[in-house]
Structure 1
Amino acid sequence: MHVRCPEQLPEETYRQVLEQLAELSPVVRALPPSAALVELKGALRYHGVSARRLGEVLRIRTISRLGVDVRVGIGPSITVAATASGQVGAPGGVLCIEPAEVARRFAPLPVEALHGIGPRQAEVLHDYGIHSVGLLAAAPPTTVQRLLGGRAGRLAVDRARGVDPRPVVPRDLPASAALRHAFPQHALDGADVRAALLDLVVRLGRLLRRRGQAARALTLVLRFAGDGSWEKTRRLPQPSAHDEDLRTLAYQLMDAAGLQRGRLTALVLKGEDLIDADRVAEQISLDQAREARLVAEEAMDRVRDRFGPGAIGPAATFRRVG
């Protein structure tokens, strides 16, 4: 599966799209700034549905959860899937090409539509009279090699015929994770701002735990009216993905900003210098209250996994009822 996101997608949103892909398959390769590859062989067996159905599920999730409409191409190889995603148009957003359909689907496409063919290569092929992928597939490989060069010519002919033995090699998750909260109107430091910061802490902690990662440091970015900003990074006493540890440091960062009458437009909270959670030494603690909070944290994660991220959240403020 080859996934294309809209151009100029913010980096933090792109990372969230990668998280949605990781929920479908463990083999995901990020192709920054706005594309990704997914190996579906194991995912099809695990989910018990068709490849097209997985593509549709992905689009529903990215639209409903992130407001991002992606284009999805699915095929028997990287070239076929990437070419298919480039041909997707409304409606649907998903194009699935079966192995037996590759030649028929590819033949009428212009050569520049074939994944891996650049503008200069397409221009050379046009000059020789090769305007479609079907003509490129039918051309003698030695002829195309003379036009484009040895290796490039062989690859062009193979890909025009749907031949691409490259596997999807997973790329490690980004070394940082960022979440953003934008205020509908300018806000001063107070209950609403602290509630927004607490919500970011909870979301970041859950994201790290789902990834199996822990942060060594936190960065808080404050955006002000007039395009001003403030940014500060501090390290955690030990790597952690627990809400309590992240919350303590996040509040310290906010206090360090020394806000008085600064009008905030957005907050950005980043987990920096991420490592695998398995590499974090868990210190034996006799603090029963902390242990109870960690147990409650696990329970809340299960609730969110089952009913959605908004099913349960932090109680930042209390109001008298009645």
Structure 2
Amino acid sequence: MTSTSVIWHVRYRPDTSPEDYRHVLDLLAGFTPQVQPLPPLAALAQVKGSLRLFGVDAGELAARFRVRALVQTGIDTHIGVADTWATAATASARVGRSGVLHLPDHRAVEHFLAPLPVHALHGIGPAQAGQLQRYGLHTIGALAAMDETVVCRILGGKAGRTLRARARGIDPRAVAVQKMPESTSQSFAFDRDVYDPVLVRAALLDLAVTLGDRIRSRRQTARGLTLAVRLAGGATTERTKRLPQPSAHTEDLRTGTLRLLDAMAFQRARIRRLTLTAADLRPAEQGPGTQLSLDHAREARLRLEPVIDKLNARYGHRVAGPAAAYRKAS
């Protein structure tokens, strides 16, 4: 049995815990050894080698996996099946009631992608989608049909070429088999849908402070941050940022978190839930030492960090903390 659709993009529910995420990854490894975790809410799997073993095509095998995950772990997953990473990821967000969307050939890919709004393309940011729409490119099909030179002028050379190729169903990235990096997450759910940027930023800063306390207590450092935002309509968007150097400092985590939020370019979007993940955690002794900078205010804050940690350990979580984390909410 042959199939050109060999990549699964497995999308988890926004409220999936880190423990449940790992359980489904373990189950996925029973279907194929070629798994790439995309924490906190997705994973990739290359299943071409598994099709002959199970005797079904990639879409039918995905349906089997989804049912087994639901029965054995109680976790509902959505799976996009295609021959490229970006197309499978775009499909997994639009699976419908079946939970699986299989695009078996290029014609099916083109038919699926062309009418979708341009912001639905996997990997495109809200600001980039807005730029394309201002030039009249409202659908993925319009982006795919536009001359590459024009798209590069709108979005820049590398981004323009990459996103136009993905709109045409082209994505050379392969599934990179790797172990699940250790991570830790913290979520905040608003009691109502909010679009006040002051409230959103204050909640994010609080999440960054909490994660900083946690990973320092474990004597670890984070190499990256992932911000997942659940919107009022139920859609979830996420973005990942690599830190300049591994860090557990609240200052660095807060700065990285706010840059993630700014990169998402939310304006009047109503937000329901925020999930911040400190990813690729390593023992602190494996990271570089703290470098002295010329920012005297930053150096003073870093010197206060151990004092704050001791106060919190003695008198209770979040008794003390950086004042800047709260000024935004006042």
Which TM-score applies when normalising by structure 2?
0.52
Give the counterpart of 1:96 among 102, 106, 118: 102
Give the counterpart of 1:51 among 49, 58, 68: 58
Deviating more after overlay: 42-51 vs 107-116: 42-51
The two structures, once aligned, show a CA RMSD in angstroms of 2.2
Q: Which residue of 1 aligns with 2:234?
A: none
**SS of equivalent residue, structure 1 residue 108:** coil
1:1-322 pair list within 5 angstroms: 1-90=8-97, 92-100=98-106, 101-174=108-181
Q: CA offset at residue 46 of structure 1?
A: 2.4
Give the Cα separation in 2 of the matches to 1:6 and 1:72: 11
Q: Percent identity?
A: 47
Q: What per-residue deviation string (whole Å, max 9, x for no partner) do you get for residues 155-205 of structure 1?
A: 0110000011111001213569xxxxxxxxxxxxxxxxxxxxxxxxxxxxx
**SS of equivalent residue, structure 2 residue 115:** coil
**SS of equivalent residue, structure 1 residue 57:** helix
**SS of equivalent residue, structure 2 residue 158:** helix
Give the Cα separation in 1 of the matches to 2:88 and 2:53: 21
Give the Cα separation in 1 of the matches to 2:68 and 2:142: 39
Q: Which residue of 2 aligns with 1:254?
A: none
**SS of equivalent residue, structure 1 residue 166:** coil
Give the Cα separation in 2 of the matches to 1:23 and 1:172: 14
**SS of equivalent residue, structure 1 residue 38:** strand
Count of matched residue positions in the alignment of Structure 1 and Structure 2: 180
Give the Cα separation in 2 of the matches to 1:153 and 1:82: 19
**Which runs of at least 4 in structure 1 moved beyond 4 Å after TM superposition?**
none
Q: CA offset at residue 104 of structure 1?
A: 1.3
Give the Cα separation in 2 of the matches to 1:62 and 1:174: 21
Q: 1:131 to 1:175 in 2, by over 3 A?
A: closer
What letter corresponds to residue 50 of structure 2 in structure 1? Answer: A
Give the Cα separation in 1 of the matches to 2:118 and 2:96: 18
What letter corresponds to residue 148 of structure 1 in structure 2? Answer: L
Give the Cα separation in 2 of the matches to 1:166 and 1:21: 20
Q: Please, which runs of 5 or more residues in structure 2 have no aligned partner?
A: 1-7, 184-217, 219-281, 283-330
Which TM-score applies when normalising by structure 1?
0.53
Q: CA offset at residue 54 of structure 1?
A: 1.1
Give the Cα separation in 1 of the matches to 2:104 and 2:121: 17
Greater Rg, structure 1 or structure 2? 1
Q: What per-residue deviation string (whole Å, max 9, x for no partner) do you get for residues 104-150 of structure 1?
A: 11110001111111111000001000000000000000000000000
Deviating more after overlay: 140-149 vs 52-61: 52-61
What letter corresponds to residue 15 of structure 2 in structure 1? Answer: Q
Q: What per-residue deviation string (whole Å, max 9, x for no partner) do you get for residues 220-257 of structure 1?
A: xxxxxxxxxxxxx9xxxxxxxxxxxxxxxxxxxxxxxx
Q: CA offset at residue 44 of structure 1?
A: 1.3
Q: What per-residue deviation string (whole Å, max 9, x for no partner) do you get for residues 39-98 of structure 1?
A: 0111112222111111111111111111111000000100111010011121x1000012
Q: 1:152 to 1:174 in 2, by over 3 A?
A: closer
What letter corresponds to residue 24 of structure 1 in structure 2? Answer: F
What letter corresponds to residue 46 of structure 1 in structure 2? Answer: L
